[in-house]
Amino acid sequence: MARAETRDRARRRTAKRERMEAVRAFATGRVLDAGRTRDALQALLRPGDRVALEGDNQKQADFLAGELAGCDPEAVHDLHLLISSISLREHLDVFERGVARRLDFAYAGPQSVRMAQLLADGGIEIGAIHTYVELYARMFVDLIPDVALLCAEQADREGNLYTGPSTEDTPVIAEAAAFSQGVTLVQVNEIVDKVPRVDIPGDWVDLIVRSPRPFALEPLFTRDPRHIGQVEILMAMMALRGVYERHGVTTLNHGIGFDTAAIELILPTYGEELGLRGKICRHWTLNPHPTLIPAIETGWVESVHCFGGEPGTERYVAARPDVFFTGPDGSLRSNRVLCQLAGQYAVDLFIGSSLQIDANANSSTVTEGRLTGFGGAPNMGHDPHGRRHPSPAWLGLVAGEPPVLRGRKLVVQITQTFRSGGVPAFVESLDAVRVGEDAGMPIPPVMIYGDDVSHVVTEEGVAYLYRAAGPAERRDAVAAVAGATPVGRRIGHRRVEELRRDGLVALPEDLGVDVRRAKRSLLAARSMEDLVAWSGGLYDPPARFRSW
């Protein structure tokens, strides 16, 4: 048998050695001269490189993003960027300047309009819109980074990193690069003699640079209770009675929004009246939501594992080590990948909102003129068929044909029937369908598929979709709670009454919810100042949330 052609089996290792030799003039040991960062990047990068740039849900390697955007397109071009969250202007500047060409990402909320325009103008080539876990997983398979540009709180001169409360995505990206002979460059806020704890070992890190300013950190999960109104409170009451209490939900994830913040803030009041403490909402996967503080302080919450940190909650979290996952130094240890997996497999319920929901309960945050993406919602907002451990809530939605049965996760969509500006949340066809067609996507960018959704909660009531006998009955149940939207207008009063009788729809009165009680007085905290008081002064809200 003829031998296969001899080829270099250490090609990536050789390429890394050459890259590090090219950047040596700009560094002392592992420490890069901040003033020569752009020169170093131009020496380090090759046209067509796959570059993982840390743009997390909250924290951003913003100094490195700016330096990358400023590179000479003659020297650095056609990069393939891997960014979980497109949050900064610089993330898209690289495409307008020709430094980068192709993008794989998960979420683009702050830059969604500009992203859509760039795509329409042909200024960007999108590989795929991923979920967070999906993107990270591909970094170990077919999207292995050549270079990773990351951020951390501190480093020592050996490259050991301390990521602090907002570890988020850093370890998984560092590992994908470090063990595939990629180059890892990290911007840090400080270079110290000894880090408080080693979150990422120095032998995973090739270069560090002290940023002229602390990395950007967005308080993404902070919601001011002042903006929670009666409609959100009513929906929270119905969710509590019609979903949490009915199914005995003890493990759960809350999405971002005033709807779920309202649920958190009525646990110590309405939930206490119902005698539900200790019976529901005990174990959570979510960031340190400030609106969860009253529930923690009143003994509702036993544990919280976090995707990332939340600015202002550092002292509070450090003082509650029985609840949060913290290190010996007292600071939070977050991890987006592990928390996403916990939210996918270890919790009984996901509840979140969307910009649009169609008649079949499919939902998406991709709308006309906005290429938002999904983030982590599809990871947690689906029924994972790989789950095997039972719980009462999971078994309560048992499915299949005897003798082979399986449980089912509760996937809840909660939204007002009309969003701001009188825009209907329920539509006959998602904008995502047309956006996908116009962009040449092989499938439309749907966030959560309707057949995974078990419940829909609106100000009208609760739809129990898992009880539907088929697609037509599911559509009727969605329509019954869709109000005066195009979807809601196609169902008559008589059919709604039949659905109520059969247990597919419950209105407030069916749940024992007194609509007259849906007032702000039911909130355990009605302002940021109240949250500070609940925390014993340990919570320090970011300046933009202060009103006193």
Cα 313 to Cα 61, 164, 174, 535, 536: the distances in Å are: 21, 12, 26, 9, 12
Q: Can you give the pLDDT at residue 547?
A: 78
In 54-114, at which residue ranges do the beta strands (DSSP E only) sit?
59-60, 79-85, 100-107
CA nearest 199: which of 334, 84, 51, 305?
Answer: 334
Cα 497 to Cα 354, 478, 491: the distances in Å are: 27, 14, 11
Q: Write out pLDDT tens, residues 506-531.
A: 999 999 999 999 999 999 999 999 99
> Does the pTM exceed 0.85?
yes
**Averaged pLDDT for residues 463-486:** 97
Q: Which of 143-157, 226-240, 426-440, 501-515 has the lowest mean pLDDT?
A: 426-440
> Where in the chain is CATH 3.40.1080.10?
20-217
Q: Can you give the pLDDT at residue 374?
A: 85
pLDDT confidence of 1, banded at 50, 70, 90?
Answer: low
Calpha distance 222→289 (Å, rounded): 6
Q: Which of 1-15, 420-434, 519-533 has the lowest mean pLDDT?
A: 1-15
**Averaged pLDDT for residues 459-477:** 97
Is residue 187 scored above 90 in pLDDT?
yes
Token pair 């067609």 in the structure block, residue: 437
In 54-182, at which residue ranges do the beta strands (DSSP E only) sit?
59-60, 79-85, 100-107, 125-129, 147-155, 161-162
pLDDT confidence of 90, banded at 50, 70, 90?
Answer: very high
Q: Which CATH superfamily is domain 20-217 in?
A: Glutaconate Coenzyme A-transferase (3.40.1080.10)
Q: Write out pLDDT tens, residues 221-265.
A: 999 999 999 999 999 999 999 999 999 999 999 988 999 999 999
Q: Give the fold, CATH level 3, of 349-460+462-506.
A: Glutaconate Coenzyme A-transferase (3.40.1080)
**Averaged pLDDT for residues 132-156:** 97
Q: Can you give the pLDDT at residue 7?
A: 72
